[in-house]
Amino acid sequence: MNLPKIIKITILFAGIVCIAGVIWVVQKQLQPGKFSGIKEAVRIGIARESLAALAIIAEDQKFFSQEGIDVTIKLYDSGKLAFTGVCDGEVDLATVADTPIVFSSFEREDFSIIATIGFSDNEPRIIARKDKGIQKHGDLRGKRIATQKGSSVHFFLHLFLIKNGLSEKDVVLSFKKPDELVTSLVNGEIDAFSMREPFISKTKKLIQDKAIVFAEPGLYLKTFNLVALKDFIKYKPQVVNRVLRALIQAEEFTRKYPDQAIKIVSKTLEVSGSEIAGLWSDINIGVSLDQSLLLSLEDEARWAISNRLTDKTKVPNYLNFIHMDGLEKVKSEAVTVIH
């Protein structure tokens, strides 16, 4: 039975409208800030440091919410502790530097780097007490120096000592949690520690003119990365993509409104705006996956092995620890890892 021409046209038109409606809904959910639907609950562990700026800004400016993420933020004193939060199931994603990733890679393979969200070649510092006879680099010989074990500031201390003709055997090295370092130096239990903001500024305020701070720009390129367990990435790939889009929105916001970005980070970290502004010129904020990340991870793995900080003897294949699909779909030009 042949349908009248007008009915055929009506059916065709209705079909086109229906398809167009579906496309509109999908596009609306994919466009930044245009998500409409059921939001996914996601817990993100953020380290209290300036290199976590994009995650801090994305939460403050509600970019996560705009991308369909009902986010719960948990602040940690360090990226290493935030990463432990992922492994222990406290959070779903975390911001963490490269060194804790290296040490974890010797013990487990169930996590991946989703993106680098910032890097700096002048972030870690060594703060020491001048009243302990420390005025220059060489005065650290024989002194009691503490840091957080298996962290970026531990690796920086290693490089710093070597550059200045020393080694870890030339100092009395101890390991403490980040929040213990300040108290230990103020109380005179140690003579110096290797760390970063906000701990350096906090200590300077407490011991004032007794403090001396050593920096070595260009000595160590520290990357800050977003990580998650592989199961989370496998079962919630769209959530990963939404988080990445929120961070990219934060990146664009930071470029357009740097002064406002500094204020947001300053408030969250409880560090003065002038101190954050002073660090801002030394950090690069952006979402990427760069080939240099692989090289850094491999260099630090060799350091850990040669210094017997691990019982493993082989450098892992770090391509197995990088999830590129998400960023390639969201911002392909930001992925330069050779694979």
Read off the DSSP letter of residue 222. Answer: E
Q: How big is the chain by its Cα radius of gyration, in Å?
A: 24
Rounded CA gap, 123 and 35, in Å?
36
Structural contact between residues 49 and 285, judged by C-beta atoms closer than 8 angstroms? no
At 8-64, the pLDDT tens digits run 555 555 555 445 444 444 444 445 455 667 899 999 999 998 999 999 999 999 999
Of the two residues 235 and 26, the one the predictor is more confident about is 235
Q: Are domains 40-119+221-334 and 125-214 of this chain identical in fold?
A: yes
| 117: helix, strand or coil | strand
Q: Among candidates 69, 67, 70, 117, which has minimal Cα distance to 97?
A: 117
Q: Among candidates 311, 287, 300, which has minimal Cα distance to 221?
A: 300
> Which one is the CATH code of 40-119+221-334: 3.40.50.2300, 3.40.190.10, 3.40.50.970, 3.20.20.140?
3.40.190.10
So where are the chain's domains? 40-119+221-334, 125-214
The rounded percent of the chain whose pLDDT value lies above 90 is: 80
Residues in a beta bridge with 195? 125
Structure tokens at 21: 């409606």
Rounded CA gap, 131 and 135, in Å?
9
Q: Among candidates 37, 47, 165, 102, which has minimal Cα distance to 299?
A: 102
H/E segment holding residue 120: strand 111-120
Q: Is the dihedral of CA 90, 34, 237, 52 positive or negative?
A: negative
Rounded CA gap, 102 and 97, in Å?
9
CB atoms under 10 Å from CB of 19, counted, come to: 10
Question: Up-side HSE of residue 166: CA atoms within 13 Å toward CB?
Answer: 21
| 125-214 classified as CATH 3.40.190.10 | yes
Confidence grade of residue 4 (pLDDT, cut at 50, 70, 90) = low
So what's the pLDDT on residue 10?
53
So what's the pLDDT on residue 92?
98
So what's the pLDDT on residue 274?
86
Which residues, 6 or more positions from 153, have their beta carbon under 8 angstroms from its beta carbon? 124, 147, 194, 195, 196
Confidence grade of residue 272 (pLDDT, cut at 50, 70, 90) = confident
At 185-211, the pLDDT tens digits run 999 999 999 998 889 989 999 999 999
Q: Is the pTM of this model over 0.85?
A: no
Q: Tokens 């230990």 label which residue?
A: 184
